[in-house]
Amino acid sequence: MFYREAGQFKTSYEKDQALFPIRQDKIGLGVILLIAFVVIPLTANDFFLASIMIPFLVFSLAAIGLNVLTGFCGQLSLGTGAFMGVGAYAAYKLTTIFPDVNVILLVLTSGIFSAIVGAIFGLPSLRIKGLYLAVTTLAAQFFLEWCFIRIGWLYNYNASGAIEIPTREMLGVVISGAEATPLARYFVVLSITVVIAFLISNVLRGRIGRSWMMIRDMDIAAELMGIRPLQTKLMAFAVSSYICGVAGAMMVFFWLNAAEPSSYSITLSFQILFMVILGGLGSVGGAFMGAAFIWILPIVLRAIPSMLGVDIGAETVEHLAFMVIGALIIFFLIVEPHGFARLWQIAKQKLRVWPFPY
């Protein structure tokens, strides 16, 4: 009744090809952005901003990055954590070499280093596919992690072996380091995530995105139709790694404040991969939903016992959360193997015919 595009006529090709062709979608997105930029900053407390929203946005961006590669181009990668690490260490080195340059600019630049590294490790993708490619990206993961541990220059020879983020300002507001307020960090992370998500959504539905999808669906057919596999795959690797690198740099600059190499371990790669699979391969919106499921749900589950006033040990809560989430993952993947994005689509279809389904 409410969600129906009847009566919305498109009179030009631009309108027909818009990112959100249906008016209700535009309104919905506007409301979400309004909540994110106005309502949450006005109402949320520091814990909600610093421990829920900032990590959620960082993981969403990383999941978008991996989605470009795995969801849209069909190249399975287990090196996401390492590519995020490259972004983080690059941004750290840049800010120590150029302390006066705006840190947001450096975070965005650091993605380029990650893109280069990603493209190099993407070279084998021309010859191998699927699980075999996963193994070579796994090699990237271990090799890069080894670099973060062994190459002292990367962490400025700190005795602790970790990178520690210095205080940096923008327009008189502290945005990184311990003194930065969660609100300032939230705005930075939100802006970067929204801008990159918007840009990549446009790339994905254009020529480049379509060529990635052709490679994913059938690489031989794509090649016959004039898509060059090497360039296309490498571009997917580069773009994906760029986004992951920016997410990794944001992770340490605006969320954790310090990072050991183990912060970018294989565990992180799997975490992001699960977000992509649960959210839905090949969907930008799904990346957000997957990130919410993997990051926010455990926090909510852990908060429930104390909200209900039940007194059980912290480790029991942890175990319970583990079990519930494991069960939910299995449940959702049985119900809808294509992830939350597909569920959302089904829901939209149902809304269209509501309240008179046929």
Partner 1 sequence: MKHLKTWSFAAALAVGVTAVGIAPQPVQAQDSNYVPLLTYRTGPFAGSGIFIANGMNDYLQMLNERDGGIGGVPIEIEECETSYNAQKGVECYESTKGKGALVYNPYSTGITLQLIPKASVDKIPVLSVGYGLSAAAIGNVFPWVFNAPTTYWDGASVVVKYIGEQEGGMENLQGKKIGYIFLDAGFGREPIPLLEQLAETYGFELLQYPVPVAQMQSQSSQWLNVRRDRPDYMVMWGWGAMNPTAIKEAAKIRFPMEKFIGVWWSAGEDDAGAAGQDAAGYKAMNFSGVGTDFPAIQDIKTYLVDTGKTQTDEEMLGTTLYNRGVLNSVIIAEGIRTAQELTGKKVINGEDMRMGLEALNLTEERLAELGLSGFSYPIQITCEDHAGSHPVFIQEWDGERFVKISDWIEPMSDVVRPLLEAAAADYSEKNAPWPERSEACAQ
Quote the CA–CA distance of 164 and 275 in Å, as a whole number.
Answer: 27
**Binding residue for partner 1, selected from 102, 191, 201, 262, defined by CB under 8 A:** 262
Q: Which range binds partner 1 by CB under 8 A, 12-20, 128-136, 161-169, 229-237? A: 161-169
Token pair, residue 159, equals 């005795």
- Report whether 91 contacts 230 (CB < 8 A): no
| Residue 270 found at the interface with partner 1 (CB under 8 A) | no
Of residues 6 and 334, the one with the C-beta less far from partner 1: 334
| 220-to-96, 159, 229 alpha-carbon distances in Å | 47, 52, 9
Quote the CA–CA distance of 175 and 193 in Å, as a whole number.
Answer: 16
Q: From the CB of 21, what's the least distance to partner 1, in Å?
A: 23
Quote the CA–CA distance of 88 and 249 in Å, as a whole number.
Answer: 4
Token pair, residue 31, equals 């409301």
| Residue 347 found at the interface with partner 1 (CB under 8 A) | yes
| Residue 291 found at the interface with partner 1 (CB under 8 A) | no
| Residue 15 found at the interface with partner 1 (CB under 8 A) | no
**Binding residue for partner 1, selected from 315, 355, 356, 358, defined by CB under 8 A:** 315
| Residue 46 found at the interface with partner 1 (CB under 8 A) | yes
Q: Residues in the chain, how many?
A: 358
Helix (DSSP H) and strand (DSSP E) numbers for the chain: 17, 4
**Binding residue for partner 1, selected from 41, 124, 161, 229, defined by CB under 8 A:** 161
Helix (H) or strand (E) holding 169: strand 168-170
| 148-to-38, 259, 294 alpha-carbon distances in Å | 38, 11, 26
| Residue 325 found at the interface with partner 1 (CB under 8 A) | no
**Binding residue for partner 1, selected from 21, 319, 337, 354, defined by CB under 8 A:** 319
3-state secondary structure of 173: strand
**Binding residue for partner 1, selected from 179, 218, 228, 327, defined by CB under 8 A:** 179
Q: Enumerate binding residues for partner 1 (CB under 8 A).
A: 44-48, 50-52, 55, 96, 99, 149, 156, 158-162, 164, 166-167, 177-179, 255-263, 265-266, 289, 292-293, 296-297, 299-300, 303, 313-315, 317-319, 331-332, 335-336, 340, 343-344, 346-347, 350
